[in-house]
Amino acid sequence: MAGASVYQGRDGVWRARVIFPADPATGRRARKVKAFPGARDADEARAMAEAYAAGASGASIQGALARYAEEVAEKGTAGRAPKANTAHDYLGYARRLGEVFPAVPACEVTPAMVSSVESRLLSRGLSATTVNGYHQFMSGAFSWMARQGWVRSNPAADAIHPSAGNPDASGKALDEEELRALTARLRADEPEAGEYGEWQCAMTALDLIACTGMRLGEALALRVRDFRPQVPDVYVCGTVCERGGVFRQPTAKRGEDRRLAVPSRIVPALRLMAAGKLPDDALLSPDGAIMRPAIVRQALRAACLEAGVRRITPHALRHTHATLALQRGFTIADVRARLGHADVKTTLGIYGHTTAARDRGIAESFGG
């Protein structure tokens, strides 16, 4: 059980020095000074301190992870405002981790325990990349718990966790022939004149993703004001969330706003969709309201079937754009800029296989 001693500061506020049980990994005891502005005397401050100490030292890992996820959902992370997608993901992480963690106090979690939990997640069929996301969540959660005085150190920092490694997007991307077949099918339903509906907008959205590499949420978040037909290009500065409805967030993923050139052939369809709308209306929509991502995914499934290509996701079209751009001779820096990756290391980590193949081709060209 944690102990606590109370004292009154010069400002009149009662505080407690809380000493927690020894950390099982390091053997050290955590100490924290906690203020209790509502305490009116020493007895009341002591009662508050003892309740705080008992709750903190006895907090289960399941409860602590849930509390951290709720904190992120309410206040965000690293000084940034909370995002709906992040909040939803973190609450999901906390719930699933609660199912695989043993029922122990947070202060008793060890690096070996964290590694065991991640191995169990892998055994459930999750990819190393996904499990690495869980690891990052746990690392942030334990750092937060340390600031609360609940744990002495961060066990996730010393855990041996799965490396995301190189996911190798080649298995997801279409080749040149498959892309030609699919885009021909997409363009067959793109609007040319007159009225158009959600299905035509969905086909145009997919064509736009294939030729720009933007994310599905980024494409559906495009507003009329973001499209410049005379250039032509689009300004990517938002994304779409589906959490209790469909709405637009004003910043793109990782805050990487960017302008993307679009091919001239898609401009007539985009002009038609922009006509008669207000500047802040959704561009890829028949009525200016944000289109649901599920409609676009459904359209892609139908297009793949009719084009005779394997079934893929909208994100695989993004992989296709990047992979083929590299194969066509564009640099990794060019691709990074179009994809909106915050760091070129991210681009290299996903598409390094493509540059490695080109490197092998150069070597073999000098073999004779």
Q: Could you read off the pLDDT of 137-148 as tens digits, one per residue?
A: 999 999 888 887
CA distance 55 to 81: 28
- Contact between residue 210 and residue 183 where contact means Cβ atoms under 8 Å apart: yes
Residue 129 predicted with pLDDT over 90: no
Percent of the chain whose predicted confidence (pLDDT) is above 70: 77
Average pLDDT of 155-162? 77
pLDDT value of position 172: 76
Token digits for 152? Answer: 């002495």
Question: Which segment of 57-61, 289-293, 341-345 scores lowest on mean pLDDT?
Answer: 57-61
Tokens 């290391």 belong to residue = 345
- Contact between residue 210 and residue 184 where contact means Cβ atoms under 8 Å apart: no
pLDDT band at 363 (very low <50, low <70, confident <90, very high): low
Average pLDDT of 220-229? 96
CA distance 303 to 20: 60
The winner for highest mean pLDDT among 13-27, 327-341, 348-362 is: 327-341
Mean pLDDT of the chain: 81
The pTM score is: 0.60
- Contact between residue 200 and residue 189 where contact means Cβ atoms under 8 Å apart: yes
Residues 6+ apart with CB under 8 A from 296: 202, 205, 206, 216, 220, 314
Q: Is 57 exposed, middle or buried (0-12, 13-18, 19+ CB in 10 A)?
A: buried
pLDDT in tens, 171-220: 578 999 999 999 999 988 766 666 789 999 999 999 999 999 999 999 99
Average pLDDT of 4-11? 83
Measured from the Cβ of residue 202, the count of other Cβ atoms closer than 10 Å reads: 28
Residues 6+ apart with CB under 8 A from 10: none
Phi, psi (rounded to 5 degrees) for 73: -60, -30
Nearest to 323 by CA among 170, 171, 206: 170
Residue 168 predicted with pLDDT over 60: no
Nearest to 248 by CA among 300, 292, 299: 292
CA distance 357 to 13: 66
Residue 235 predicted with pLDDT over 90: yes
In DSSP terms, which residues pair with 210 in a beta bridge?
Answer: none
pLDDT value of position 1: 43
Question: Which segment of 10-24, 170-184, 330-344, 352-366 scores lowest on mean pLDDT?
Answer: 352-366
pLDDT value of position 257: 85
pLDDT value of position 57: 53
- 289: Cα within 13 Å, side-chain hemisphere: 7
Average pLDDT of 298-311? 93
